[in-house]
Amino acid sequence: MGNNRNLRNYGCGKTLGRFTIRNLSRQTSKLANRGDALALKTQSALTDLARHLRSEFGIRFLEKVEQYHLESWAESLHDRLIDGSLTSSATSSYVSCINTVFTTNDRHDLKISAKSFGIARGQKHSNQNLANSQVSQKIFRQFCLDKYHQTHDIKFLTLLHSVTIQSEAGLRFRESTQLKIATKNLSGNHLHLVKGDGVKNGQPRSFKPSSMSGLRQAKNFVQENSVVFHRGSLIPGNLTYKEYQTWAYKQLAEFREQNPAYKNYHFHGNRHSYAHKEFEKLWENRVGIKISAPVISGKFGRDYIDRVSLKTGLGVAFYGLRSSHFMFSETHPSFSHFFI
């Protein structure tokens, strides 16, 4: 297939540009026996996916797309749903259209669930628990250590440090790897991120991680191996971010294959795990009792408020929807960095 460049996008063009996307959208609609409405929606979805594939992985045609590429894109959709730049209607439609593109071209192995990534139509905040369990995090860290001992490839140690600071500081994958950790002042209890640290939309932010231990260990590791990490981040100097990310997601795919019980482990899940821990900490600081997040307790809406009221003994009125939203929205200093 690689000898014919037109086949890289199912016969619709050489690279995933506007011309190819338009042709592929029309072809998908025709193969699915649908009308122009699907073609237009698919065109929007493919444009968004193409932008992500190009910026994150340097991919310009669909022949190279693997499952982990789509999952990375779904995580991007989730971020934009939370920050309000996309609606759940849009994210759900995008996922449905892309699934149709691959299904109509006999790539039934490539499919993602909008519900499992919390981007399904109808609600901004999903009742899906997207956090990695503590057990799965431990097993993935051991996977990295074992692979390092087998191969002596230092990249496996960088990935170990990356997932550790993701879960301790709530960093995105890009931030955890592009962070100029070697030059960060970690003497206090705050982390300061700036544009060069891979922050979303280049927006700087400062916050207090749940632990500084992983960050300090990563800093020592990069400084001790400065010949390899001359940029000061966890990405080896001979690799671009796109090359490193592609390598890391391939290791994630291998881990899942070797550990089917933890097939839902994903890098963004470390960030969700951090959020759950911070949620509990905020409640404990406020009322002296740890309160689990709704997705962990299995209670939502009024049921959740009643549960919190019963557990704290402070009354439903005090923990009404408006006060609960205020406590844990982006206006709260402990969570403000999480929405940037």
Q: Give bridge partners of residue 207 from the DSSP assignment.
A: 191
Q: Is the pLDDT of residue 3 over 50?
A: no
Higher pLDDT, 335 or 215: 215
pLDDT (tens digit per residue) in 81-113: 888 899 999 999 999 999 999 999 889 899 998
Mean of pLDDT over the chain = 86
Separation between Cα atoms, residue 278 and residue 332, nearest integer Å: 12
139-173: buried (b, 16+ CB within 10 Å) or exposed (e) per residue? bbbebbeebbeeeeeebbbbbbbbbbbbbbbbbbb
- For residue 329, is pLDDT > 50? no
CA distance 331 to 340: 12
pTM above threshold 0.85:
no
**Would you say 228 and 40 are in contact if contact means Cβ atoms under 8 Å apart?**
no
Q: Quick: pLDDT tens for 269-327.
A: 999 899 888 888 888 888 788 888 777 777 777 777 777 777 777 654 444 433 333 33
Which of 178, 8, 175, 25 lies closest to 93 in space, CA to CA?
A: 25
| Cα torsion angle, 40, 41, 46, 49, sign | positive
Q: What percent of the chain has pLDDT over 70?
A: 88
Quick one: DSSP state of residue 132? P
Whether 244 has a pLDDT exceeding 80, the answer reads yes
Q: Identify the band that residue 36 occupies on the pLDDT scale cut at 50, 70 and 90.
A: confident
Neighbours of 129 (CB within 10 A): 18
User: Looking at 110-119, 126-135, 184-193, which range is the least confident one?
Assistant: 126-135
Cα-based distances in Å from 57 to 12, 31, 53, 66, 174: 21, 28, 5, 11, 12
Q: How far apart are CA 27 and CA 10, in angstroms?
A: 9
